[in-house]
Amino acid sequence: MHHVEIEDFYHHDFTTVSEWEVFIARLEEIMHEWKLSHTKVASPLKSGDFVNCEWHEASEKLNFADVEFLLKHYKLKKEGEEEDPTSLQEEREEEREEEWLQCQKDALDISNDFVRLDDNCMEIACYYGVREFLVLIPARKMSLMDETRIKILLSSLTIATNNANCYIPALVQVQEPWQKMYLGGCAGKGACVHFDMVHLKKVPSHCKYLTGLLALFKQKLGEGCGIRLDSIMVSVRFSYLLKDWTNSTWTQEPPDFDFMQGETLGVAELGKLPFGATFDPVGELNLFTTWPEMPDNVVVDSEGYSDLEPQLAPEWSVQVKMVALPACLLGEYMTDFLHLCNNQKTMVELLGENASYIHDDDQTHLSAAFNVLTESRIPTISTVVGRASAAKKNKSVDGPISEDMLLAILYFLFPDADDTSKFPYDITASNVEDDQWKGVKTCATDSLVWRLSVVAAHCTHNLGGVMALAQLWHEFVQEIRFRWEKTIFVPG
C-alpha cells in the first residue's frame, strides 16, 4: 500500500498575497500618487493661517475585509510655498540636517491655538495643531467599535507610511462618527509621535480646573521616563456665547418697512432702492478672553480660588457669525436683476408683434436698412408725454405696468416733458470723481442711465419681472428714437 505524506497532500502556498497585504500595498500606492514621500519641513505658521488659508483635500476609496473606507489627505496651502528649482538642492541639504518632523513643530506652535474649524475631520487640526495629515474613515458613516479591527487598521497605516517614507500624521476615525474620535501616529527621522485620544461621558471633577489638568499632564509625561518637569507653559481661553438678543437693539439700523407703501411702488420711491435686512443678520456673538503662554507656577486655578479673572485677561477678541441666508432687500433686488442676463427671449416673444420696431406696412417703403434711421414711421411714446404728432398712429404694447405707473416712470426719466416735474436733473452738480468710486466703472450719479438702472430694478422686482422690464425698455427706446428724429434734447 502506497502511503502519501500529509505535508504533500495539504500543501499551502504562503507566497499568495493576503487581503491585508493588498490593503497595505494600496495605501502605499495612494501615498505615492499624492507625492507624500519625503515631504519637506515648511516655514512656521502665522496667526490665523488655519482660518485664512485654503485647505486642500484629496480622497480615495479602498476596501478591506468587505468594508469600504475613505483615505483622505488634508493640507494647508500657504501663499508662496511653490517649489523653486534653483533652491531645491539647498532645501534637501537642510532637510538632512533637520531632526524634527513637521507635526512636532506644528504641535508646539502656539500661533493657531484655540482655532475653530467646522469642516469634516478639521477637528484634527484643532486638536493637534498640524497643518497636514491623513485620515482613514469608514464610508457610509459606519462605526468602528471592535478593538481588533482598530489595531489592524492602525498597523496597516503605520506600515504603509513607513514603506512610503511618508512623515505625515496618519489617523483612523474610531467609535461612533458623532464622537469625532481619532487614533494614529507619525514616525520618521528616528522619532515616533502618538496621537491618542480618550472620550469620556463626564468630565472628572479634578479635570475641571487648571490645577488638576496640570497634575494629570505631569503624571502622564513622567511615566516611564523619570523626567521631572520644573515649569510648564500654559495658554488659557474662556469663551462666552450670545445667541439670543431679541430684547436688545439691532446691531444696525433697521430698514424702512414702509418703503413702497407696503405693497406697491410709489412715485417718491422711484429714485432709490431699498436697503437693509428684514431681520438681524447676526446669528451668534462669541467673546474670547485669552491668557497666552504663562508659566504654570504664576497662576492658580482650582475649585477654591482662581487667578483667571476674565476682566483681567490680556487679550480679548470677538467672533461674529452671520445667519446662513439673511433676507437683504438690496441683495434680492440685484439678484433678480442679474438673473435676467441669461434670458434669451426677444421683445416680440415677450410683448407680441407690436413690440417690433419695424412693422410690415413700413417695410414696403424702405429701400435700404439705413433708411430705418431716417424714414421710420414707428409710433413713439410721445402720446404719453405730450410730444407725439397727432397724425401718427400709435400701436400700444400690452404689459404688466399700468398706464398711470408707466406715465410716472417716463416723467421721472424725462422730466422736461412735464412742466411741473418734481424730479429735474441737477445740471449744476459736479461729477468730480470721489475716492470711493476710483476703479469702479459707473455712470454719473442721478443721470439718465442712473435713473434708468434704478427704475429697471424696480420693474423687475415689483412690477412684473422680465415682461415689465421689456415694456419699460420698449417705451424708453421709442422715446429716444422720437427725440433723435425730432432733434429734441435728451436730458440727464
User: Given a cut of 60, is residue 306 above it in pLDDT?
Assistant: yes
DSSP tag of 319: E
Q: Are 186 and 103 in contact (CB under 8 A)?
A: yes
So what's the pLDDT on residue 71? 95
Q: How far apart are CA 109 and CA 44, in angstroms?
A: 8
Q: How far apart are CA 446 and CA 269, in angstroms?
A: 14
Q: Is residue 165 within a helix (H) or strand (E), and if so which, with residue range?
A: none
Task: Write out the DSSP string of 173-220.
Answer: EEB-GGG-EEEEEEEETTEEEEE-----SS--GGGSSHHHHHHHHHHH
Q: What percent of the chain shows pLDDT beyond 90?
A: 26
So what's the pLDDT on residue 362? 47
pLDDT tens string 4-32: 555 555 555 566 678 999 999 999 999 99
Residues 6+ apart with CB under 8 A from 70: 59, 60, 61, 136, 137, 138, 139
- Per-residue pLDDT band at 85 (split at 50, 70, 90): very low
Q: Are 23 and 87 in contact (CB under 8 A)?
A: no
| Average pLDDT estimate for 332-359 | 75
Alpha-helix runs per DSSP H in 255-395: 329-339, 347-351, 360-363, 371-375, 382-385
Q: Which residue has the higher pLDDT, 197 or 346?
A: 197
- Per-residue pLDDT band at 363 (split at 50, 70, 90): very low
Q: How far apart are CA 354 and CA 348, in angstroms?
A: 7
So what's the pLDDT on residue 235? 92
User: Given a cut of 70, is residue 394 above it in pLDDT?
Assistant: no
So what's the pLDDT on residue 440? 74
| Average pLDDT estimate for 75-97 | 60
Q: How far apart are CA 151 and CA 159, in angstroms?
A: 12
Q: In terms of pTM, does the model score above 0.85? A: no
The helix/strand/coil state of 54 is strand
So what's the pLDDT on residue 444? 80
Q: Which residue has the higher pLDDT, 33 or 38?
A: 33
So what's the pLDDT on residue 83? 52
pLDDT tens string 133-167: 999 999 888 889 999 999 999 999 999 999 999 99
User: Given a cut of 50, is residue 184 above it in pLDDT?
Assistant: yes
User: Given a cut of 60, is residue 346 above it in pLDDT?
Assistant: yes
Choose the weakest-confidence range: 14-28, 393-407, 469-483: 393-407
pLDDT tens string 412-425: 888 888 777 777 88
Domain boundaries, the chain: 19-78+99-199, 216-325, 330-377+395-486
Q: How far apart are CA 367 and CA 350, in angstroms?
A: 29
